[in-house]
Amino acid sequence: MPLTVLQYKIDRGLKELAEKLAETLPSIVAPNLSLSERDLHDGKLTPDEIMVWCRESKKADQNGKDLEIIVFAHDFPERRENLEARKDTIIEGVRKFLSDYDRNVTAAVWVLLAPTAYGEI
C-alpha cells in the first residue's frame, strides 16, 4: 500500500489543481510501481492500492516546489533496480496532467523505498 504525499503551495492558487491531481495520482503511480510478476498486495498494484494525502505547504517550509509529490513504497529489489526509470515515468504522467492547465508551476517527484509493513484494523 504505497503512500503518495502531494504538497502544494496555497499562495500560488493551486488548491483546485492539486485536488484534481490527487484524484489522478493513483492511476499514474500504480502502473509505474507495480510488479506484475508478484501477487496483488505483495508488489503488484492497482490504483486502489495507492493512498494519497493532499497537503498545503506551510509558510515555514523552505526551498520547496509549487507541487511536490513524495511516494513512499516498499523496497522490493525489482523496484530498486530500475527506480530512476520508474520515477521518470511518474514525472511524465504528472507532466501530461499539468499540460491540461495553463499554469506555470514548478514540481518535483521523489520516490522513497524502505522496508514497510501495512495492516488494516
In a domain, 119, yes or no: no
Report residue 110 as a C-alpha cell.
521523489
Three-state secondary-structure class, residue 52: strand
Sort strands 67-74 and 107-114 into parallel, antiparallel or unpaired: parallel
The mean predicted confidence, pLDDT, of the chain is: 94
What's the pLDDT at 11? 86
Q: What is the CATH number of the domain that holds 75?
A: 3.30.429.10
What's the pLDDT at 13? 87
Please report which confidence band the pLDDT of residue 64 belongs to, taking 50, 70 and 90 as the band edges. Answer: confident
Please write the tens of the pLDDT for every residue from 16-62: 999 999 999 999 999 999 999 999 888 999 999 999 999 999 888 88
Segments forming the whole domain that contains residue 41: 3-114
In a domain, 44, yes or no: yes
CA atoms of 48 and 59, how far apart (whole Å): 32
Q: How many domains does the chain have?
A: 1
pLDDT > 90: percent of the chain: 83
CA atoms of 2 and 36, how far apart (whole Å): 15
